[in-house]
Amino acid sequence: MSDRMTGTGTRLTLDLWHPNCWAIEATGRYPGGILAHAIYDAPTAGTERSNGLFTAYGNSVAEVEELLDAIANSELTGDVLELQERFDPRGERVAPGSVAREFFLEYDPSDMVCPKLLEQGFVHSAPTQIERGRETWQVWFAGPRDEIQDRIDAVAEASGADINIASISSAEGAEPERGRRLDTLTRSQRQAFELARKEGYYRWPRQVSTRELAAELDISKTTLLEHLRKAEAKLLDPKGVEN
């Protein structure tokens, strides 16, 4: 029997700050901004760190360089791998600024707020924008609208975040969109993700370890982490991974 529900759902824009965030720290001190796209597997098997794909942007090369230096020197980040430099001389907007540079970054996934949002039913629907020490999230919520504030409060309590609802509107297609994203997961990825949600892996503090989840699924810890990170990437940005 299908577990899908019908309804209009709700679309929200969240303006938030949370602790231990290198992007909030850097943009709070320097001009420019950052787009957060997707999460990828950890570069070394067995580590508890993740890679993410990001874009740093600004109004000049110097502005972007200063921002990237701040990110690389943060105690909250690991290796920074710059991919390419982009300009828009013909007005083609690749990011809000006129200069943009993509990069992979290694960081501690426990510092992220997105698992707390996922745990409370908020599904990321666009790249997160970070400017002036604040993050802007576009999310869908498929549950009853009168539950939203309680769910927001739960995210804030779990993460130490300050969260404001910048906009809220009913929108057809929220639940089909959530269902479509879940349908992009492989059987193994969905099984691992739904078990992790059920057992409290995305709560803070965590209620279950990756070792315990792996044992329950009879797979290795490395395989479990691979399933979870690919599932998270597809749910946050379906174009981030292919399988």
Mean pLDDT for each consecutive 10-residue tract of the chain (243 residues)?
A: 54 93 94 82 54 88 93 88 58 62 84 88 88 93 89 94 89 55 79 86 77 92 88 67 51
Strand runs labelled E in the chain? 10-17, 33-40, 50-58, 77-87, 99-107, 122-124, 128-131, 134-141, 162-170
- Report the C-alpha gap between 93 and 87 in whole angstroms: 9
- Confidence (pLDDT) at 115: 85
CB atoms within 10 A of CB 222: 15
**The model's pTM:** 0.64
- Confidence (pLDDT) at 95: 58
- Confidence (pLDDT) at 169: 82
CA 141 to chain centre: 15
Query: What single letter denotes the amino acid at residue 104?
Result: F
- Report the C-alpha gap between 58 and 34 in whole angstroms: 9
- Report the C-alpha gap between 60 and 32 in whole angstroms: 9
- Confidence (pLDDT) at 16: 95
> What's the farthest any 2 CA atoms get from each other in the chain?
57
Segments making up each domain of the chain, as ranges: 7-172
Q: Is 43 exposed, middle or buried (0-12, 13-18, 19+ CB in 10 A)?
A: middle
- Confidence (pLDDT) at 229: 84
- Confidence (pLDDT) at 137: 93
Residue in 218, 164, 214, 222 with CA at minimum distance from that of residue 48: 222
- Confidence (pLDDT) at 3: 45
- Report the C-alpha gap between 154 and 169 in whole angstroms: 21
- Confidence (pLDDT) at 92: 43
CA 191 to chain centre: 20
- Confidence (pLDDT) at 40: 56
Residue in 24, 27, 98, 96 with CA at minimum distance from that of residue 66: 27
- Report the C-alpha gap between 88 and 243 in whole angstroms: 32
> Within a 13 Å sphere around the CA of 66, how many CA atoms are in the beta-carbon half?
13
Task: Go through 131-150 and write b for each residue having 16 or more CB atoms within 10 A of its CB, e for each that does not.
Answer: beebbbbbbbbbbeeeebee
Asked if residues 196 and 228 have their Cβ atoms less than 8 Å apart, the reply is: yes
